[in-house]
Structure 1
C-alpha cells in the first residue's frame, strides 16, 4: 500500500515507517493524514508485530509545516483543528497494540519530537538535535508536547526545554530520560532493528496487555492502576499463548507463540 509522504516496508515481522517529505520531513496535513492511514494499516496487518518510525534522509522530522499556520491567522477554530488533528494521530500511535520505536536519525523538533514521544520506545543518534522551539513562533507545543514531555522527563526539565526553546543532543536526551538509548548515527538503525526483533517473538497478546496496562495505569491512581494490571493479567490466563509459555518454561524449551 502507498501512503502520502510515508513509506512502509516489512521485514521479519517489523514494519519500518519512513517519513518522506523532503527536505525537512515536516508534519503537514497531508503527511499527518498519510501517517494516520499507515498506522491503521499496521494495526490490522497481522504480519507486522512491531514498528520502527524514522525519517528519510538526514532528518527525523524538523517540525510541523509552519506555512500552513498562516491559513489559521486570527482564527482560533482553525488553529485548534491543526492541534487536534495531529494529536489524534499521535494518540493512535501511543495506543497502538504493537510496540512502536522511534529511530531518531536527525533533527527532531517541535512536532517531530512530539511524534517521537508518542512512540513507546526511542533510540536517537548522538548528534541529533531535539527540542520544542514553538515559543519562538509565539506558540506552545500543540501536538502533545506540553503533556508528554513532563511525563517522560519531569516538570522542571520539560518547562526548561519548552520555555527556552534550546536544543539538546542525543546524549543529553538519554541522560534526562527522554530516550531509551543514544548511539552513533551509523549504529542507529541496527539498534532499532535489534530492539524490534527482540520483541516480535513475544506473545502479541502479552504485548498488547502490557501497553494497555501501562498507558491506562499512568492516567489514574496507583490503586486503580493495579486493578487495570490485575484485569489484563487475568485475561491472559484464557489464552493459548499463556499455556504455551508456562509449559515451555516447565519443559525447558523456547515457547512458540501464535497470538
Structure 2
C-alpha cells in the first residue's frame, strides 16, 4: 500500500496509519479510498478486536477531498459516482462488527 500502513498490535487491535505519499497533508483521493477499501477487505477476513485510524502526518488528520481530482469530473454522472463511492466506503466502515476509533484533533494550532 502506498498511503496506508497497517500495524497489528499484540492485543488484537489494528492501527491504520494514513500518510498520503508525497503530500504535506492527507486528502481523500480515489487511490486513498481504494486502498482503505482493501484494508476493510482484509479485516473482513480476520476481524480485529478493534480498529484505530490515525494520521501519519504531524499537521492534521485529513484536509478533505483531493480537489485536484475534481478537474477530471467532466459530467454530473462522474461527480455522483465519486460521491457515491465515498459514501459507500464510509457506510461500510460504520457497519463493521468491531469497535472503531479515529484519532483526530481539531484544527487551529497547538
TM-score (norm: length of structure 2): 0.88
Return the structure number with greater strand share.
2
Q: Specify the alignment match of 1:66 in structure 2.
A: 67
How far residue 43 of structure 1 moved from its aligned partner, in angstroms, is 2.0
How many equivalent residue pairs? Answer: 105
For 2:15 and 2:101, the matched residues in 1 are separated by 10
Q: Specify the alignment match of 2:36 in structure 1.
A: 35
Q: Which has the higher contact order (CA 8 A, sep 6+)?
A: 2
For 2:14 and 2:66, the matched residues in 1 are separated by 25
Q: Say what the alpha-carbon RMSD is for the aligned residues.
A: 1.5
Return the structure number with greater helix share.
1
Please show how residues 107-122 of structure 1 align to structure 2 within 5 Å.
none
Q: Specify the alignment match of 1:256 in structure 2.
A: none
* Unaligned runs of at least 5 residues, structure 1: 105-124, 130-168, 170-184, 186-259
Instruction: Name the SS of the counterpart of 1:63 in structure 2.
Output: coil
Q: Specify the alignment match of 1:109 in structure 2.
A: none
Please show how residues 152-171 of structure 1 align to structure 2 within 5 Å.
none
Q: Specify the alignment match of 2:18 in structure 1.
A: 19
Q: Residue 43 of structure 1 contacts residue 98 of structure 1 at CA under 8 Å; is this kept in 2?
A: no
TM-score (norm: length of structure 1): 0.39
Q: Residue 16 of structure 1 contacts residue 51 of structure 1 at CA under 8 Å; is this kept in 2?
A: yes
Q: Residue 15 of structure 1 contacts residue 51 of structure 1 at CA under 8 Å; is this kept in 2?
A: yes
Q: Deviations over 1:110-136 (max 9, x none)?
A: xxxxxxxxxxxxxxx3xx22xxxxxxx
For 2:73 and 2:45, the matched residues in 1 are separated by 35
Is 1:93 aligned to 2:100, yes or no? no
* Unaligned runs of at least 5 residues, structure 2: none
* Greater radius of gyration (CA): 1
